[in-house]
Structure 1
Amino acid sequence: MKLKYVLLALLVGLAFTSCSKDSDADSDSNETVVPDEINDFVWKAMNSWYYWQSDVDDLSDSKITSGNKYANFINGKTPDALFYSLLYQRGTVDRFSWIENSNEVVNVSKIAEVKKSSGFSYGIYPKDFNNVNLVALINYVVPDSPAALAGLKRGDVITKINGAQLTASNYNQLEDTQVTLTLAASVGFISTGMVTTNKAGTVTLSQTDIDENPVAYYEKKVYGSKNIAYLVYNSFKSDYNDELNAAFAKMQSDGINELVLDLRYNGGGSLETAVALAQMINGSFTNKPYVYLDFNDKHNSNDGFENLSDKVKVYNLVDNEPTFQRDESINSLALTKIYVLVSFETASASELTVQCLKKYISVITIGNETVGKFVGSNTLYDDPVSNYTSSTNKSTKHQWQLQPITFTYFNKDKDKNPDEITPNHDINPYEIFSDSVEFGNVNDPYLKKALELITGQTLRTNTQNTNISLSFRNNNLASFNPTNAAKGLYIENFKNLKK
């Protein structure tokens, strides 16, 4: 059963329009047309680094041979409109590139960041076959965030936003700086769809600056000789590398010999952190190739392997950028098999973990089909001297920066990537509505399946029967097909990338 959903913690594929029409024609006068400074940065950075540069006619090197033609071409658009016009088959092949202005953020997703947020992650589900009326299921709530202080919790279901039924046309308002939410009192299923009743009253949230710890939950579970770690990891954020390493030190002291790694809500992040995580899980393959990066033809010198290391870099945030502090020795578990929980929100660095790690150890996946994002990016700044890769000396005249796809990746054997990762053990995502319990509770159908595979036992749980119609589940899931977004895979310290 093919599942396609939308993750709304982050949005890509936004529509932009040009402020005025452009022209490829030469200026009618003999006067030299001066290229717009910001758009000149956008075009030249994309011409240099965009992974599909050779497939986009408007990024051809020949475009810049005639000064006036080039200037007329780039001057007729806003920076964002120009950027999105240069993407290769936007929305189908390239679903993930974006541009942002720090004063008007289009999309926030980096390797380390403080970001504006109300403090809750959620997934969107259709209520019926029409895919118009929707609900948002809260995946988790960040401790001490506005959402936590308002009493929201994992498993809450949002039915209305700002007093209106949540629909395909207004769900993006969940990312507004202030929202008023209506929650479901009950959720049920009939043959044609989902039925909800609403709680009295509403919850109003305002965004604030949050530096979310992605190491969201750890618990040791003991079943006979099995010391099982359950770790919820929600983003590959390099400013929390030390916390991730500390979690594995705790596992060492707990005598862990089995691991359930929950990546259901992890849309990606730092390549460097993803490589370090693999070493924490096993640790026996130091200096062996882990992931192969492939850039466009202009940057073949950057192609190559990232190898496993016994050290992890520790960063602090300085002006919202990761700043290197020190190296730490990696704490490794020497595991030869792990169980990974995945979902329609699992992407990029999380998918890399599955695809690349399984070349060294057994990786058993449980859940739903993943996003299928086997590409990555590095941030491009307006600094031609560094070939747009350094923020240190970037222009201070504006705050635009680019996050285009600049590379694709493969496992150590350079195997062709699938469209998405199909789990070894499928879980119907609608089951979570009856059993969306707090992290670690064995009523969680995903965790329950992992524990049963590890122990060889059938676990008795206090699950509820929601009587979900099989025809509704199959038909609705197959037909629901909105844009699927993800955080991505990013490279920090690009100039130090291994060649």
Structure 2
Amino acid sequence: MTNSIIYLKRTTYYSIYFVILFLAILPSCKKGNKIPDYPIGSNENINSWILDSLKRYYYWNEQLPAKPNLNLSPKDFFNSIRNSSDRFSYISIPNDPSTATPSNRNFGFDYATVSDQNSAKVIGVIKLVLKDSPASRAGLKRGDYISKINGKTLTVTNAQTLQTEILNSDRFSMGLAELNNNTWTDTRTVELNKGIILDQREISKVIESDGKKIGYLYFLDFNGGLASSLTPVFSNFKAEGISDLILDLRYNAGGQVAEAAGICAMIAKNISFDKPFITYRGNKNGGAKTESIGTAATFDGTVNFNTLLQQNLGLSRVYILSTAATASASEVIINNLKPFIQVVLIGEKTRGKDEASFRIFDARSPKQVKWEMHPIVYKLFNAQGSGGYSAGITPDIAVNEMSILPLLQLGDTADPIVKAAIASITGNAIKTSVALNHVIPESFKADHILVDSRVQSAQQSIVTTHRLK
């Protein structure tokens, strides 16, 4: 009889996981049916480990092929046995960029390439610049325009090709432009090299409008320790006596369930440790389990639940800003706050990630397999059993942030999404969608989005949780 052992263990940096040990018992060895003893490091050995892991945990484990081709490279093998319904599972070797899906993050910015109604003019619009990054050190800022990439003028036909050039490069050039009196003028060229990007700080402020004190909070992702790091922000909101909260998740591609639960615990009224928060539904091995908000918020060990409750705002309503790049744990906040309080979603439809994963890696000593997997393991639901948002969550108030160009700084009260939230809070609710660029009809109208690097990055993110006991 043959035993195959897989370990999962906790890490202590931004991704925190529980140690998991399981024993998969394979059929008895019979004469003429002996399982090959593949050499360590061979594709067959690695792929056998991958297959054994997926048979235990993968949401679609019963649809795995009976006799897959073990000779393939590990990444090709993994992709060959992924279920056709699986949009997000991936495999990579840590600290090996050649095995990872590239993004713009190491350059420190995201942008959208847009065209006007007749595709007569194509321009790039910088949406996000990370602090202390190659982009910020080059003087780039949100709202800047891009006319060229690697010396090539952006067009409808080459927009995606030029974005691919960025993703496949360690260095590239970018030509900037300005719009003056409806005329585009090239200004300067910047060279960007990949760099190491540190954790990004939140943006928070208190907005006073029509006698209301409104808290505004933006953060980029749900890395481990986020809820703990935001306790001073919520403490300040509480001390200021805010009546409403705008949670800006427009570019937040997600991360850990624990941090999403921790943020929720500081927002909604009538929170207690044992209140049901999230339901995980896995395969026949995993079953289904509902977890309380206290258990969910503290499973990664980065915060004490009583500390979160001390900052609780006791709100009955929250306003959340979204785009197509709002995904994963951001959608957990949107969906899983609904049983507690009213959630007013403003902006665009979200990405639609109603599934979760935990990291699977080989912790044997010495390690035999360098690859790590993040397969879909669970479907996600809130405390009322509501989920199924794979097509995205539709906003209550539809607003396109490109309706005013240039883009304003995050948190600016004239930003169209923030403005719509304030109007709704103060009683001047917008009942219909905000028309694209209706405010500046004589300027460039961004009618068609050709490429959005932030949305592409959101496609690669995944809801991260732990193995349920």
Q: TM-score, normalised by structure 1?
A: 0.74
1:52 maps to which of 54, 60, 73: 60
Q: Which residue of 2 aligns with 1:84?
A: 79
Q: Which residue of 2 aligns with 1:119?
A: 108
Q: Which residue of 1 aligns with 2:135?
A: 147
1:182 maps to which of 175, 179, 202: 175
Q: Which residue of 2 aligns with 1:306?
A: 291
Cα distance in 2 for residues equivalent to 1:465 and 1:416: 39
1:443 maps to which of 397, 409, 414: 414
User: Deviation at 1:197?
Assistant: 3.4
Indicate if the aligned counterparts of 2:257 and 2:297 stay in contact, CA closer than 8 A.
no
User: Deviation at 1:135?
Assistant: 4.8
**1:372 and 2:367 matched:** no
Q: Which residue of 1 aligns with 2:307?
A: 329
**SS of 1:281 mapped into structure 2:** coil
Indicate if the aligned counterparts of 1:182 and 1:203 stay in contact, CA closer than 8 A.
yes
Amino acid at match of 1:410: F
**SS of 2:263 mapped into structure 1:** helix
| Gap change, CA 1:314 and 1:77, over 3 Å in 2 | closer
User: Deviation at 1:206?
Assistant: 1.7
Q: Which residue of 2 aligns with 1:409?
A: 380
Q: Which runs of 5+ in 2 are unaligned?
A: 1-31, 39-43, 431-437
Greater shift after overlay, 270-279 or 411-420? 411-420
Cα distance in 2 for residues equivalent to 1:226 and 1:132: 44
Cα distance in 1 for residues equivalent to 2:398 and 2:105: 34
Cα distance in 1 for residues equivalent to 2:124 and 2:367: 40
**1:296 and 2:283 matched:** yes
Cα distance in 2 for residues equivalent to 1:188 and 1:486: 39
1:139-194 alpha-carbon deviations (Å, 9 max, x no partner): 222222221111011112333322234522231333333222122322999xxxxx
Cα distance in 2 for residues equivalent to 1:292 and 1:251: 30
1:22-62 alpha-carbon deviations (Å, 9 max, x no partner): xxxxxxx9997543222222222222221112223x1x4xx
Indicate if the aligned counterparts of 2:225 and 2:302 stay in contact, CA closer than 8 A.
no
Greater shift after overlay, 339-348 or 138-147? 138-147
Q: Which residue of 1 aligns with 2:214?
A: 228
User: Deviation at 1:308?
Assistant: 1.5
1:313-363 alpha-carbon deviations (Å, 9 max, x no partner): 598xxxxxxx85866610110000011110010111111111111111011
2:321 maps to which of 322, 341, 348: 341
Indicate if the aligned counterparts of 1:343 and 1:367 stay in contact, CA closer than 8 A.
yes
| Gap change, CA 1:353 and 1:187, over 3 Å in 2 | farther
| Gap change, CA 1:33 and 1:163, over 3 Å in 2 | farther
The aligned runs of 1:162-201 (5 Å cut-off) are 162-166=150-154, 167-175=159-167, 176-186=169-179, 197=184, 199-201=186-188
| Gap change, CA 1:311 and 1:292, over 3 Å in 2 | closer
Over aligned residue pairs, what C-alpha RMSD do you find? 3.5
Indicate if the aligned counterparts of 1:310 and 1:329 stay in contact, CA closer than 8 A.
no
Q: Which residue of 2 aligns with 1:96?
A: 88
Amino acid at match of 1:352: V
| Gap change, CA 1:291 and 1:159, over 3 Å in 2 | farther
**SS of 2:411 mapped into structure 1:** coil
Q: Which residue of 2 aligns with 1:430?
A: 402
User: Deviation at 1:79?
Assistant: 0.6
**1:488 and 2:446 matched:** no
Q: Which residue of 2 aligns with 1:112?
A: none
Cα distance in 1 for residues equivalent to 2:114 and 2:57: 38
User: Deviation at 1:396?
Assistant: 2.9
Indicate if the aligned counterparts of 1:347 and 1:370 stay in contact, CA closer than 8 A.
yes
Cα distance in 1 for residues equivalent to 2:34 and 2:271: 63
Q: Which residue of 2 aligns with 1:25?
A: none
Q: Which residue of 1 aligns with 2:15?
A: none
Indicate if the aligned counterparts of 1:375 and 1:405 stay in contact, CA closer than 8 A.
yes
Q: Which residue of 2 aligns with 1:246?
A: 232
Indicate if the aligned counterparts of 1:142 and 1:212 stay in contact, CA closer than 8 A.
no
Question: What is the aligned-residue identity percentage?
Answer: 27
| Gap change, CA 1:116 and 1:96, over 3 Å in 2 | same
1:96-133 alpha-carbon deviations (Å, 9 max, x no partner): 11111124334479xxxxx972222x243442689999
Q: Which runs of 5+ in 1 are unaligned?
A: 1-28, 64-69, 110-114, 190-195, 316-322, 384-392
Indicate if the aligned counterparts of 1:435 and 1:464 stay in contact, CA closer than 8 A.
no
**1:381 and 2:361 matched:** yes
**SS of 1:186 mapped into structure 2:** strand
Q: Which residue of 1 aligns with 2:26?
A: none
**1:420 and 2:413 matched:** no
**SS of 2:188 mapped into structure 1:** coil
**SS of 2:125 mapped into structure 1:** strand
Cα distance in 1 for residues equivalent to 2:105 and 2:209: 41
Amino acid at match of 1:450: A
Indicate if the aligned counterparts of 1:133 and 1:168 stay in contact, CA closer than 8 A.
no
| Gap change, CA 1:293 and 1:394, over 3 Å in 2 | farther
1:289-328 alpha-carbon deviations (Å, 9 max, x no partner): 111111111222xx3112122995598xxxxxxx858666
